[in-house]
Structure 1
Amino acid sequence: MTGLDVRFDNVRFTYPSGVEALKGITFTIPAGQRVAIIGQNGAGKTTLVRHLNRINAPSSGTVHVGDTTTADQSIAQMSARVGYVFQNPDEQIFARTVIADVSFGPRNLGLDAEEADTRARAALEAVGLADHADVHPHQLSLSERKRVAFAGVLAMRTPVLVLDEPTTGQDARGVETIARIVQHVASEGRTVIAITHDMDFCVENFDRVIVMTQGEVRADGTPGEVFASGEVIAQAAVEPPQLMRLAAELGWATRPRDAEEFVDTVALHSGPAA
């Protein structure tokens, strides 16, 4: 399975109230890349990614997913290409059992009942909810419902996966599960895009970070490049990951993404043993 390129070409979007939420967004995400979009609330992040499945349509400019322009497609048509996990799972869950909810997407793609059920159960296994298949979703906790919504999108096996605040409400085990799924989906060549305020999750699981403020892109690069730009990060009202903050306080030029990189950097600064 392979991903699809995603391209925003001078995309502007104005709400009926007159608020201009996006102000000429242009960038490309190559197929198979893992990209995190960060910034303060109201920066336009969710407004932007909702263009990918046609929930939003540009006021001007174009959005491309693979060889398809979203303006030519319906939400239903785009759902076969772009799987979207909403920030609030209750906007996405509707069935009376977990298995019915998770298998809805595959069935809606035209798969037979057996294949849809197989995919749904595999997705529930992936998110750690295999034992909850026959439970009513609203008997579950918020974090579990979020993983039900996640499983429903995973079961569709779309070339592009969009996650809106995937770690919100998750405990450490839940975050680890989501990180593992992100890495697995990317290993299959699929494109993963996440909106997140969890900076540790961001730098540990994504190769590229895009910073948005006030409907515009302010920075775009590797986690190390982006978080080294203190001015941009301050404008975006996000706090760098804790290990990067510590590295900065120590005066290091490098910005380690995780504990392993931090330990390696300590060794470099410590010099050879006496």
Structure 2
Amino acid sequence: MQSETVIEVKDMHFAYKDGTEAIKGINLNIHKGEFIALIGQNGAGKTTFAKTLNGLLKPTEGYVKCDGIDTNQKGVIKKLVKKVGYVFQNPDHQLFNTRVDKEIAYAPINVGFSHEEVEKRVTEAAAVAGIREEHMKMHPFFLPKGLRQRVSIASILALKPKVIIVDEPTTGQDYKQSIEIMNFLKELNENQGHTIIIITHEMDIVAKYCKRLIVLCHGKILMEGSTKEVFSKPDLLENTFVKPPEVTQLAQALGDFGLSNDILSIDELWKEFSSHLGGEKFEKNTCS
């Protein structure tokens, strides 16, 4: 049974004021509880498209509806920010208050919640984001980048949106920090019920966390489907200069030996290797 649609995109075009058409006729439905990656080469339209999903940019043709609200309607911004939150690639471009608690409280105050409700939402959002009490009165810029990103996400969580869009969540972070932030987004998706959309160039991250991929090329959807489906078509992906994860490429190179072309992890690779090439016997002989 298909879950509820939280974002509907119909025949959507977007052109900048100079006439540059960045999005060219996209049709797409995004459903409750999905974990989606927008992928494609630089200039494919990923960030522009993402910004149309919560009203930061308005379609020039067609429409985007967030939880039934047309983003082109006048006076809907305060409604939209409660539906779809957007976390910028660089948290320093999003954070502007002098204290963490004020940063998280800004949006709830701005949309008109009571003082009591604001305090409750700040406390809840900080707890979910893993921001400790000792951080709350600190200047956000005194925190490490990974924690600043959590503050950015907490400021979005305070509005309890159904959808959270995160632009390049792992850029500029080491492996440990990247895994921490992705595990946090996974927690929000699986245990808090948020639909998560990330924009990323990290295909290993995509393979590990994302369930559905939307591949953009020159402002259009080149293909979309499950992570396995998309990565199983390397020839088509080449059109947007995207390569599957290295483990998937290895499996595809060994396709003549019976390996599937949609393997996403070392565990999957070894399982198929054991099944098709006698890997279990090889492992026993190697370890004896």
Aligned AA for 1:189? G
Residue 95, structure 1, aligned to residue 97, structure 2? yes
CA distance in 2, matches of 1:22, 1:99: 37
Q: 2:285 maps to what in 1? A: none
Are 1:216 and 2:223 matched, yes or no?
no
Shift of 1:21: 0.3
Q: CA deviation at 1:96?
A: 0.5
2:264 counterpart (254, 257, 262): 257
User: Could you tell me the TM-score, scaled by structure 2's length?
Assistant: 0.86
Q: Is the 8 A contact 1:127 1:177 kept in 2?
A: no
Most deviating of 92-101 and 130-139? 130-139
Q: Structure 1 pair 16/24, CA: closer, same or farther in 2 (3 Å)?
A: same
CA contact 1:14–1:21 (8 Å) conserved in 2 = yes
Q: CA deviation at 1:202?
A: 1.1
Equivalent residue in structure 1 for 2:204, among 185, 200, 207: 200
Match runs of 1:1-274 below 5 Å: 5-72=6-73, 73-130=75-132, 131-187=134-190, 188-251=192-255, 252-271=259-278
Larger Rg: 2
Following superposition, the deviation at residue 42 of structure 1 comes to: 0.9
Q: Greater relative contact order: 1 or 2 (C-alpha under 8 angstroms, separation 6 or more)?
A: 1
Corresponding pairs, count = 273
TM-score for the superposition, normalised by structure 1: 0.90
- Change over 3 Å in CA distance of 1:75–1:259 after alignment to 2: farther
Q: Deviations over 1:149-172 (max 9, x none)?
A: 122112322111111111112222
Contact 1:3 1:191 in 2 (8 A): no
Deviations 1:86-116 (A, max 9, x none): 1121221111011211222233344444543
Q: By how many angstroms is 1:272 displaced?
A: 8.1
> Percent same amino acid among aligned pairs?
34
Q: Give 3-state SS (helix, strand or coil) of 1:197's partner.
A: coil
Greater mean alpha carbon deviation, residues 119-128 or residues 226-235: 119-128
Q: Cα distance, 1:190 vs. partner?
A: 2.7
Q: Contact 1:143–1:169 at 8 Å: present in 2 too?
A: no
For residues 35-93 of structure 1, the C-alpha deviation after alignment (integer angstroms, 9 at most, x for no partner) is: 11101111111111111221111110011112221112533321011111111212211
Structure 2 residue runs without a partner (length 5+): 282-288
What is the SS of the residue equivalent to 2:165? Answer: strand
**1:135 counterpart SS class:** coil
Q: Structure 1: how far apart are the matches of 2:268 and 2:118?
A: 41
